[in-house]
Structure 1
Amino acid sequence: MDTSQTDQLAERIAAKHECLRQLVELGRAQFELIEANDLARLLRLLAAKQVLIGRLEAVSKSLEPFRGQDPEARVWRTAELRECAARQLRECDEFFALVSQQEQQSEARLRTKRDDAGSRLRTIHSADHTRTAYGTSESRSRHELDLASSE
């Protein structure tokens, strides 16, 4: 393997690193938007995340040819470039784990908010149903004329 191939590898690792770094940032913003109930901005953020996920998939596919190679057989332009690529790969693993954790937390928070909203809607519906039931009997009694009473 020559240095042009390891240069390509380093560029692809850097691209993967950047995608995952951005996904971590968007994951933080996503949770904040969920907490703020800002669904319009949340939907825009999710669309941006989808673009990044597509880019990450493409970068990951471009790394396939390098997966079967012996890392020790690679010829790097400099030792610093090799160390930088190795560090970025380690951080990619950390970022990926963090993105997965953020997704689980966001999903759980959304589920809780959905369940809370459902509970509030059932309470409102029940109160409305009760009010309607009382309102129907009250409106009947107010508008009825009692001809049998002596008053």
Structure 2
Amino acid sequence: MHGIDKRTGKVLWRESVGTVVHNTPIVGMTMDGKLAVSHGRGGPHGPLEKPYGQSLTSLAPGHEGTTLWSTPLEPYDPSFASHWNKKYVFGFRNGHHIVLDADSGKLLREQPLYTGATVCKFNPQDGKWIKQTNVAVKAGKGL
């Protein structure tokens, strides 16, 4: 990731940990109100940016491009938008939704996506909703 002067095209800064092309970095505000960007590295195609994982990089004036934290997560395929807020950074790994602490990058929890799901299905024949718990679902295949 690079910071480029929009008037001159001059590169003002470069971050040091890398970002894979399939990841969409997201800009937000840290707990102390400073601009930063969440971004990831990794993927099934063996990208050059290593170690695979998630990072938060400062965009605060005078600290642009400084890595605030970088958390290794192997294996990791960050082919998603790196959503975050001042408390948490969110991602996906090995069929799990992951949550990291936005201040430290510490992995707080992993929740399975395909097992133990609660599913609500509408039955058009009787017009009622059916709630099923602890359901196993297949990725991209529905129920």
Give yes or no for TM over 0.5.
no
Give the structure with the larger helix fraction.
1
Give the structure with the larger strand fraction.
2
Normalised to the residue count of structure 2, the TM-score between the two structures is 0.23
Normalised to the residue count of structure 1, the TM-score between the two structures is 0.22
